């Protein structure tokens, strides 16, 4: 079996490093996000699939103009709901404002616009 030459090994190591750095820059790790639990329990049913035209998780095009309203306005519309599709408090009546803020931020983070 032919062994890799030194140059080939160096090139491979170099490419792997570039690939790893590239991934780290692009993907945000959301598994530790404080809003993940609330999102999964209450919001995912509509926002994962885009039910009733809910802005889908991770869909930058659908989120862009909403993101530009700013997080305070998004919290307010979440609390009030947007008839007919978006229910008051996203159907989480027991959620505190803070839990809603976290859940919203989780969705914003999924399109690269989150605060945490
Ligand atoms: C029953 C389905 C449903 C559930 C459950 C739901 N949403 Fe929504 N959501 C929608 C729909 C539909 C829209 C789009 C409303 C519109 O613009 O007409 C929306 C829009 C939003 C928006 C954008 C508001 C804006 O001002 O543009 C935010 C933020 C949001 N939802 C947060 C949440 C959060 C947080 C939860 C969970 C706590 C949640 N939603 C649960 C259906 C849902």
Structural domain boundaries enclosing 24: 1-32
Q: Is 57 touching ligand 1 by the criterion CB < 6 Å?
A: no
Distance 62 CA to ligand 1 centre (A): 12
Q: Is 35 touching ligand 1 by the criterion CB < 6 Å?
A: no
45 CB neighbour count, 10 Å cutoff: 13
pLDDT tens, position by position, 47-87:
999 999 999 999 999 999 999 999 999 999 999 999 999 99
Q: Is 62 touching ligand 1 by the criterion CB < 6 Å?
A: no
Same domain, 1 and 53: no
Same domain, 58 and 79: yes
Number of domains in the chain: 2
Which atom of ligand 1 is nearest to 39's Cα?
37
Per-residue confidence (pLDDT) for residue 22, from 0 to 100: 53
**Cα–Cα distance between 102 and 108 in angstroms, integer?**
10
pLDDT tens, position by position, 8-49:
766 766 666 656 555 544 467 899 999 999 999 999 999 999
Q: Let me know: does 62 contact 56? Beta carbons within 8 Å.
A: yes
Same domain, 6 and 43: no
Same domain, 45 and 87: yes
Is the confidence at residue 109, as pLDDT, over 80? yes
Q: Which of 77, 95, 97, 93 lies closest to 85 in space, CA to CA?
A: 77
Same domain, 109 and 66: yes
Distance 25 CA to ligand 1 centre (A): 29
Distance 110 CA to ligand 1 centre (A): 15
Environment class of 84 (CB within 10 Å of its CB; exposed 0-12, middle 13-18, buried 19+): exposed
Assign residue 78 the CATH number of its domain: 1.10.760.10
**Cα–Cα distance between 75 and 105 in angstroms, integer?**
10
Of all protein residues, the one whose alpha carbon is nearest to atom 33 of ligand 1 is 90
Same domain, 24 and 47: no
Which atom of ligand 1 is nearest to 89's Cα?
38
């Amino acid at each position: 079996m032919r062994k890799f030459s030194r140059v080939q090994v160096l090139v491979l190591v170099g490419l792997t490093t570039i690939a790893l750095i590239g991934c780290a820059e692009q993907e945000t790790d959301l598994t530790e996000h404080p809003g993940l639990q609330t999102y999964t329990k209450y919001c995912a049913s509509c926002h994962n699939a885009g039910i009733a035209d809910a802005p889908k998780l991770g869909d930058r095009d659908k989120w862009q103009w909403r993101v530009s309203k700013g997080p305070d306005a998004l919290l307010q519309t979440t609390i009030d709901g947007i008839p007919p599709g978006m229910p008051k408090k996203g159907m989480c009546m027991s959620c505190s404002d803070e839990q809603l803020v976290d859940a919203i931020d989780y969705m914003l983070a999924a399109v690269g616009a989150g605060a945490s």
